[in-house]
Amino acid sequence: MSYKPTIVAFLCNWCSYTGADLAGTSRIKYAPNIRVIRIMCSGRVDPTFVLKSLREGADGVLICGCHPGDCHYHEGNYKCLRRYHLLQKYIQQMGIPKDRLRLEWISASEGKQFAQLVDEFTESVAKLGKSEIRQVMETLT
Amino acid sequence: MEEKRIGVYICWCGTNISLMVDVETVAKEMAKLPNVVISKDYKYVCSDPGQDIIIKDIKEHNLNRIVVASCSPRMHELTFRKTLVKAGLNPYYFEMANIREQDSWVHTDRVEATKKAKALIAAAINRVSFHEALDSRSVEINPATFIIGGGISGLSAALEIADSGKKVFLIERSGRMGGHVADFDLTFPYMYSAQQMITPLIQRVKSHQNIELFLNSEIKEIFGYIGNFESTIHSKDGKETAVKFGNVIIATGLKTFDPSNIENYGYGKLPDVITSFEFEKMLLNGIIKTKDGKEPKNIAIIHCVGSRNKNYHEYCSRTCCMTALKYANQIRCELPKANIFDIYADMRSFGKGCEEFYTLSSRRNIKFLMFDQENDLPKIVSANSGDNCDMLIEINEKLTGKTIEVPADMVILMVGMEARENAKEIAHAVGISMCGNSFYIERHPKLDPVATTTNGVYIAGGCQAPKEIPDSVAQAKAAAARILATIAKGSVEVEVTTACVNEDFCCGCQTCIKVCPYTAISFDAEKKVSVVNEVLCKGCGTCGSGCPTGAIKCKHFTDMQILSQIEGIMKISHLELQEA
Amino acid sequence: MKERIDPNLYNDLEKFGIDVGNWNECYHCGNCTATCPLTEKGSLFPRKEIRFLQLGLKNELATSAEPWLCYYCGDCSKKCPRDANPGELMMSLRRYLTSIYDWTGLAKRIYTSKIFEIATILVISLIVMVLYLNFTFFPSGEGAWTGNDGGVLINKIAPWKRIHFGDWLMAGTLAFFLITNIFNMWLNIIVKDKSVKVPFIAYFTEVFSVVINFFTQKRFNKCDNDNKPYWVIHLFLMLSYVMLFTMIVFFLQWFQTDSVHPVWHPQRLLGYISTIGLFVGIIYFINNRIKKAKENSKYSHYTDWTFLVMLFLTTLTGILLHFFRINGMAQATYITYLIHLMCLVPMLTIEVPFSKWSHLAYRPFAIYFANVKKSALKKQVKL
């Protein structure tokens, strides 16, 4: 049996969280490894949140926001995009594969796309195997 | 610090959740978590008896934090917040775990779904410990309304509001009112005269004591928030007027599609290929003639020009099918012997009286030819001298599967509708969002098609999507009614989940000021710290994640709240891993 | 291949129909074709025909055999949500096609002008009268006109050889027009259709289907369960007509005898059965049309009435003729024979090659051509 990863996801309230709810009301099935945290805007995703998730042992972190141009707060998703690119570089330097972090745009009507995304990301994270960070951190401290 | 006493309530939602999540076991396990005083499962927590249990428990067990694990917070967060208020608790001492839409409904493995539920509830329990009491805030409403656009939507809304005695500022970019309707001859399906409809409206608006009219005017930006907006109107003659108002209606309308770049139709090259709006002018003048001044014997009308096609616009422009039938009928009256060809993709005759109008039209010897709008547009070419007509239209006729040639002396292109070229500027000026095709997005496509996601800003008419006159008027009057309702109430509750600055931590780097999309943060030069104007702040939290020192606190989405949530999730999965 | 549309086709075809609805109202939901018990892959109707008409594809209509494959049960018109009356279109198309096949142009004039039809009937009747008066003998005063068995010596009044000569003359003319028209039909349906190349052998393998369909009208039977009595009566009428026509045209010497045979004699027996067949059929159809009982009898074109009335008069005078003859009423026999011929001859000359009765030949041939095409197509696919 393949490894069952744990994924922490940050979904913006207006587009992506609504899209994930739509997947639910449409009864579209997807992998059960994802744990969603609701935030108002993808722009609220503080790099600390991502690092904290990884440190606590999350095998993958997913951020979803509104499509470019559709942000409820005009441009929060662009801010998120910039931080995302920096973060990917940063975690790589720490020895974490950059594919453990992913940013995607999911609109309120894209329930199906959300389910597909979760399946796809779960699969790719499962391939990377268990994240060792939590263990390393525990032995260090 | 007070002791946290948390009550956890796990909903069965009938069988919606309980089928896929072992709610009873989850409830038992959650009871073991720190600070949890009570953990219960119940058939329908949102029901009155369910809420009564929470209220009773709060009083009996002196609970001060509540977690409900049930459906999406988008569904019942407000319900439960009110429950807390009833029990005398601050509504923000509440957190919800979504174990229906994002768990039981989307998974098929009961064991995994139960694990997920545990993680989500544990996260909520962790989070709720850090919740703080927040107080709601209300602001007064300025009774004046600002309407952008003097078409039929803007006029209807303006009169509705002005007639009830409230002030209206109506601005129109061009020099005349009436919009597209002022260019129409007759209207489908009852053939009412557009002029007779629009002229009295314009007259009334011009002379109305409550309406202040600004022709040839534009705005650059609107500042403020619901109830208290302000802006400056720039007139073309250089005059500037500052205005204050409480609500905004955007009724900027739409424009017609330019068919010159559809090669098949030869618009611009073939003289007698004209757009529907050019033909409308002919009808208004009462003469149907080709460019040579001849009476056309064969007239073709082509539908869906620029609509419903990947290369142009994918949406349906809604009004053109019936306008095409209107033209066919008007031509039949003017030129009883002419051959009329209606070349359509799908005849969309929804709406009151429209299907009947189509039936009626089909009895008037109008030939209906169907073509494949997505892949195979008709082609118009000049005819040869022997053909006895000016042009030939080659169509792969869909219902017969035959390639046919239709003679034509005049071709009317039913051009689609598209968003105005300055739609984006207006959206930015007012602070609303657009769809991919530059039409404005309504708050909810079904339940709130009049409001936008910005409080106090409403949309009406063609700026939201192509629509016919009655729909535009209905939307305009609905927007007017919504605004009159808030004016009548006098005040409105605003966002409390805003950001605030802990001045002790602020280093004065001003990063937050750069990232704020609402210019809600300013710099206090004396104290050398940032200051949030909570009235302008909409609570997106971008400043919070940009702040390097953690000085900015995003209320109800604080760092501690979210970090504890992450810990809660990972604690459960870590425990499970250890067990395994 | 591109086809130029003919904007006037609709107006042209309307002249062959009755003002009963508007074929332009059809929006092609396809209920008519879906409900039709006879349509099948390869020959789709009636929706396709409506479309050709709406677009003005004259050539497509002129070369289709489908109108003849329809027997007008009327289900399509009943199910039509737009009251576009597809059944009546198929009927009008049969009239239209008759005029297309007919190279003389008479069919078109008969179908589009009431006056022309009646005038033609009168002219032919008069010619028949003149010929009859010149070549027969009035049973006056002298000479015994009655035989020993009490029957009129009919061959003395109207010698069978003379009548027979007239019969042959008429049959030859009819056959000439009918065959040339069928040749035209063949050109239209098979030769002009470039999508199929018919191998010569197919004409032989499918010839059986013409005969079968002519004598059983089994397609008609498939048409609708409600139409069972209709089919039986129509078949009986048709066979009776063929029987009488054969006896008159080919076996007149045996059919028109001076001696009165006993009732059980094949000559009288066959005559009676055929007459009953004709009479019952005519009464049934006239009744249907008056009462507008069925979908296919709701709307009557004037040619439908002339056909029925002429057939009725012919049958009635035939019965009277027989009655007068066996009862020895020589003068009455003479006059009735004249009236009988004055009805029969114009009826056959107009109806068989140029009007309604041509369906007797067109229908089986259309089925034949359709089958020939179908088998050719099958072979093409196999290759």
C82 and C134 share one domain: no
A13: helix, coil or strand? coil
Residue B488 forms contact with A (CB below 8 Å): no
Q: Which residue of B has its CA nearest to C51?
A: B400
Tell me what pLDDT residue C308 has: 94
B332 and B390 share one domain: yes
Q: How many structural domains does chain B have?
A: 4
C177 and C251 share one domain: yes
B359:C82 CB<8 A: yes
Residue B437 forms contact with C (CB below 8 Å): no
pLDDT at residue A91 greater than cutoff 70? yes
Residue B359: which of C4, C25, C56 has the nearest Cβ?
C25
Q: Where among B438, B473, B492 does a domain terminate?
A: B492
B484 and B519 share one domain: no
Q: Which residue of B has its CA nearest to C6?
A: B406
Weakest-pLDDT range from A23-27, B56-60, B328-332, B431-435: B431-435
Residue B363: which of C25, C54, C60 has the nearest Cβ?
C25
Q: Which residues contact B540 (CB under 8 A, 6 or more apart)?
A: A40, A41, A43, A44, A72, A73, A76, B517
* Residue B74 falls inside a structural domain: yes
Tell me what pLDDT residue A98 has: 94
Measured distance CA(C4)–CA(A115) in Å, rounded: 53
* Residue B321 falls inside a structural domain: yes
B269 and B410 share one domain: yes
Q: Which of C27, C60, C193, C195 to mutate to test the interface with B (most CBs of B within 10 A)?
A: C27
Sheet containing B94-98: which strands, arranged edge to edge? B36-42, B6-11, B65-70, B94-98
pTM above 0.80, yes or no: no
C366 and C350 share one domain: yes
Average pLDDT over residues B279-307: 95
B565:A37 CB<8 A: yes
* Residue C51 falls inside a structural domain: yes
Measured distance CA(C276)–CA(C292) in Å, rounded: 23
* Residue A1 falls inside a structural domain: no
pLDDT at residue B578 greater than cutoff 80? no
Helix %, strand %, coil % for chain C, to 5? 70, 0, 25
Q: Where among C75, C101, C127 does a domain terminate?
A: C101
Per-residue pLDDT reduced to its tens digit, B478-510? 999 999 999 999 998 877 889 999 999 999 999
Q: Where among C101, C130, C162 does a domain terminate?
A: C101
Q: Which residues of C touch B400 (CB under 8 A)?
A: 48, 51-52, 55, 57, 60
Q: How many structural domains does chain C have?
A: 2
B319 and B293 share one domain: yes
Task: Find out whether B244 and B142 touch, Cβ atoms under 8 Å.
Answer: yes
B365:C24 CB<8 A: yes
A84: helix, coil or strand? helix
Scanning B77-136 for CB atoms below 8 A from C yields: none
Residue C24: which of B298, B347, B362 has the nearest Cβ?
B362
Do C and A touch, 3+ Cβ pairs within 8 Å? The answer is no
Measured distance CA(C87)–CA(C70) in Å, rounded: 9
Domain extent for B83: 6-136+556-579
Residue B334 forms contact with C (CB below 8 Å): no
Tell me what pLDDT residue B532 has: 94
Tell me what pLDDT residue B183 has: 94
- Bridge pairing between strands B186-187 and B273-275: unpaired
Residue B368: which of C22, C48, C54 has the nearest Cβ?
C54
B82 and B190 share one domain: no
Residue A44: which of B103, B428, B542 has the nearest Cβ?
B542
Q: Which residues contact B509 (CB under 8 A, 6 or more apart)?
A: B548, B549
C87 and C150 share one domain: no
B326 and B387 share one domain: yes
Q: Which residue of B has its CA nearest to A130?
A: B577
Average pLDDT over residues B501-524: 92
Task: Find out whether C313 and C343 touch, Cβ atoms under 8 Å.
Answer: yes
Q: Which residue of A has its CA nearest to B100?
A: A24
Q: Where among B466, B492, B518 does a domain terminate?
A: B492
Measured distance CA(B42)–CA(B23) in Å, rounded: 9
Q: Exposed, middle or buried: residue B535 (CB in 10 Å: 0-12, 13-18, 19+)? A: middle
**Which token pair is A63?**
């951020």
* Residue A122 falls inside a structural domain: yes
Q: Which of B127, B542, B561 to mutate to test the interface with A (most CBs of A within 10 A)?
A: B542
pLDDT at residue B158 greater than cutoff 90? yes
Q: Is the ipTM of this complex over 0.90?
A: yes
Per-residue pLDDT reduced to its tens digit, B365-404? 899 999 999 889 999 999 998 888 999 999 999 888 889 9
Q: Which residues of B touch A23 (CB under 8 A)?
A: 101-102, 106
In angstroms, what separates the C-alpha of C23 from chain B's closest C-alpha?
8
A32:B542 CB<8 A: no
Q: Which residues pair with B245 in a beta bridge?
A: B229
Among B71, B72, B94, residue whose Cα is nearest residue B81 = B94
Tell me what pLDDT residue C210 has: 81
Tell me what pLDDT residue C18 has: 79
Do B and C touch, 3+ Cβ pairs within 8 Å? The answer is yes
C22:B362 CB<8 A: yes
Q: Where among B442, B471, B492 does a domain terminate?
A: B492
* Residue C334 falls inside a structural domain: yes
* Residue C159 falls inside a structural domain: yes
Per-residue pLDDT reduced to its tens digit, B243-269? 999 999 999 999 999 999 999 999 999
**Which token pair is A65?**
């926001």
B400:C25 CB<8 A: no
Measured distance CA(C181)–CA(C355) in Å, rounded: 12
B41 and B98 share one domain: yes
Residue B404: which of C3, C24, C82 has the nearest Cβ?
C3
C95 and C143 share one domain: no
Measured distance CA(C79)–CA(B85) in Å, rounded: 62
Q: Which residues pair with B275 in a beta bridge?
A: B413
Q: Which residue of A has its CA nearest to B431?
A: A74
Domain extent for C290: 109-382
In angstroms, what separates the C-alpha of A98 from chain B's closest C-alpha?
20
B281 and B429 share one domain: no
Q: How many structural domains does chain A have?
A: 1
Per-residue pLDDT reduced to its tens digit, B350-369? 999 999 999 999 888 899 99
Q: Which residues pair with A104 in a beta bridge?
A: A64
B114 and B158 share one domain: no
* Residue A53 falls inside a structural domain: yes
Tell me what pLDDT residue C62 has: 92
- Residues from C contacting B (CB-CB < 8 Å) are 1-5, 7, 10, 22, 24-28, 48, 51-52, 54-57, 60, 82
User: Which residue has tokens 């460019």?
Assistant: B291
* Residue A105 falls inside a structural domain: yes
| CATH number, domain with residue B240 | 3.50.50.60
* Residue A86 falls inside a structural domain: yes
The rounded percent of chain B whose pLDDT value lies above 90 is 84
B540:A35 CB<8 A: no
Sign of CA dihedral B520, B526, B527, B529: positive
Average pLDDT, chain A: 93
Q: Which residues of B touch A36 (CB under 8 A)?
A: 98, 102, 120
* Comparison of pLDDT for C148 and B464, the residue scoring more: B464
C127 and C40 share one domain: no
- Bridge pairing between strands B94-98 and B168-171: unpaired
C119 and C46 share one domain: no
pLDDT in tens, chain C (383 residues): 788 899 889 888 988 987 776 888 888 899 999 999 898 887 789 999 999 998 899 999 999 999 999 988 888 999 999 889 999 999 999 999 999 999 999 999 999 999 999 999 999 999 999 999 999 888 887 667 888 888 888 888 889 999 999 999 999 999 999 999 999 999 999 998 887 888 888 888 888 878 888 888 888 888 765 657 888 899 999 999 999 999 988 898 888 888 888 889 999 999 999 999 999 999 999 999 999 888 888 899 999 999 999 999 999 999 999 999 999 888 999 999 999 999 999 999 999 899 999 998 999 999 999 889 888 888 877 65
In angstroms, what separates the C-alpha of C22 from chain B's closest C-alpha?
6
Beta strands per DSSP E along B188-347: 192-193, 211-214, 217-225, 228-235, 240-245, 247-250, 254-256, 273-275, 298-305, 339-344
pLDDT at residue B440 greater than cutoff 80? yes
C196 and C52 share one domain: no
C28:B399 CB<8 A: yes
In angstroms, what separates the C-alpha of A37 from chain B's closest C-alpha?
8
C1:B365 CB<8 A: no
Do B and A touch, 3+ Cβ pairs within 8 Å? The answer is yes
* Residue B1 falls inside a structural domain: no
Residue B32 forms contact with C (CB below 8 Å): no
Q: Which residues of B touch C85 (CB under 8 A)?
A: none
| CATH number, domain with residue A126 | 3.40.50
C229 and C378 share one domain: yes
| CATH number, domain with residue B536 | 3.30.70.20
Residue A41: which of B107, B541, B571 has the nearest Cβ?
B541
* Residue A2 falls inside a structural domain: no
B393 and B340 share one domain: yes
C47 and C148 share one domain: no
B180 and B272 share one domain: no
In angstroms, what separates the C-alpha of B346 from chain A's closest C-alpha?
26
Average pLDDT over residues B412-427: 94
B102:A21 CB<8 A: yes
B403:C10 CB<8 A: no
Tell me what pLDDT residue C227 has: 59
* Residue A78 falls inside a structural domain: yes
Q: Where among C101, C118, C146 does a domain terminate?
A: C101
Q: Which of B298, B299, B354, B404 to mutate to test the interface with C (most CBs of C within 10 A)?
A: B404
C197 and C275 share one domain: yes
Q: Which residues contact B570 (CB under 8 A, 6 or more apart)?
A: A6, A8, A53, A56, A57, A58, A134
* Comparison of pLDDT for C91 and A140, the residue scoring more: C91
Inter-CA distances, B387 with B270, B384, B409, C25, Å: 16, 6, 11, 29
Helix %, strand %, coil % for chain B, to 5? 35, 25, 40
Which pLDDT band holds residue B542 (cuts at 50, 70, 90)? very high
User: Which residue has tokens 């589009």?
Assistant: C112
Q: Which residues of B touch A28 (CB under 8 A)?
A: 106
B281 and B201 share one domain: no
Q: How far is CA A128 from the centre of its chain?
A: 15
In angstroms, what separates the C-alpha of B291 from chain C's closest C-alpha?
23
Average pLDDT, chain B: 93
C244 and C139 share one domain: yes
First and final CA of chain A: distance in angstroms?
Answer: 32
* Residue C139 falls inside a structural domain: yes
* Residue A100 falls inside a structural domain: yes
Tell me what pLDDT residue B424 has: 86
Residue A52: which of B100, B435, B566 has the nearest Cβ?
B566
